Amino acid sequence: MTYNRETPESLYQPAAPECLSLRDRFTFHCHPGLACFNRCCGAPTILLSPYDILRLKNCLGISSGEFLQRYTCLETEANSNLPLIFMDIYSSAEVGCPFLRATGCTVYPHRPAACRLFPITMGSRLNEEGLVDYYFCRRLDYCQGFAAAAEWTVESWRANQGFDEYDQGRREWLEIILRQGQKGQVEARVKEIFTDIAYDLDKFRRMILEPDFCQSFDLDDSEVKSLGADDPALLQLSYRGVKALLFTEAAERIKEALG
């Protein structure tokens, strides 16, 4: 995993006047017959949620640690000082998504949420009721896909691209980061622990086998054993873990347990 650019990334982007609703319509169809096919993947900005990382590392048959090391870069979120993970487009000699080939995306069935939603992009704000989403259409000048006859609403596009499942897997993580950003910045040690718990799921699985760390979550032996092969449940526990780290008195116990 490579590390931060000089300017921290901020998730706190205001909703623009041109925001779309779920009912708003657009036309789009991307396919290999277009002259611009793959061009948008040449220099993408792909923010990866813990769920994206889980799906991709399982697709590739590698550990989460290896995936993070080989294919990602870590940047710091400006308001919270928490880590954000991006696809590293400079991880190979040819700049671009490391999973892009002339024929298209080699991990397409497991592509991240940001890729699924394109050309729609999504932002979220946190209010007293939780996350509020807003959308807008990224109309790249060279993209020929917008000339297609296929018409979508934002809602039907989400469903067609399998975005809803990925969005469900990432929403709790996003809410945690936005909530911490409202509180202020975390210290460096908390940032390191957050990286391990939230993003390196295989490492987190090993961590909960440690008695002191396990006690921080009030887990019994049967629960720990059941998490051995249940990645979705382990992901939910990791969200529970970072909430404890950031928002409860268990934070000091977690830091002590990890040394």
Q: Write out the residue range of the structural domain in which residue 211 sits.
A: 186-257
Same domain, 118 and 223: no
Residue 240 pLDDT greater than 70, yes or no: yes
Least confident of 50-54, 80-84, 214-218, 236-240: 214-218
Q: What is the pLDDT of residues 166-189, one digit of tens each?
A: 999 999 999 999 999 999 999 999
Same domain, 151 and 76: yes
Same domain, 160 and 213: no
Q: In terms of pLDDT, which residue wins out, 208 or 98?
A: 98
Number of structural domains in the chain: 2
Residue 155 pLDDT greater than 60, yes or no: yes
Same domain, 250 and 152: no
Same domain, 142 and 40: yes
- DSSP alpha helix (H) spans, the chain: 50-60, 64-71, 113-117, 154-160, 163-183, 188-198, 201-207, 211-215, 221-226, 231-247, 251-257
Same domain, 68 and 106: yes
Examine residue 3 and state whether it is found in any structural domain, yes or no.
no
Residue 81: both structure tokens together: 């000082």
Q: What is the pLDDT of residues 83-119, one digit of tens each?
A: 999 999 987 767 789 999 988 999 999 999 999 999 9
Give the end of a domain, one of 177, 212, 231.
Answer: 177
pTM score over 0.85: yes
Mean pLDDT across the chain: 89
Residue 3 pLDDT greater than 70, yes or no: no
Examine residue 18 and state whether it is found in any structural domain, yes or no.
no
Examine residue 70 and state whether it is found in any structural domain, yes or no.
yes
Residue 4 confidence (pLDDT): 61
Residue 13 confidence (pLDDT): 57
Same domain, 83 and 109: yes
Examine residue 246 and state whether it is found in any structural domain, yes or no.
yes
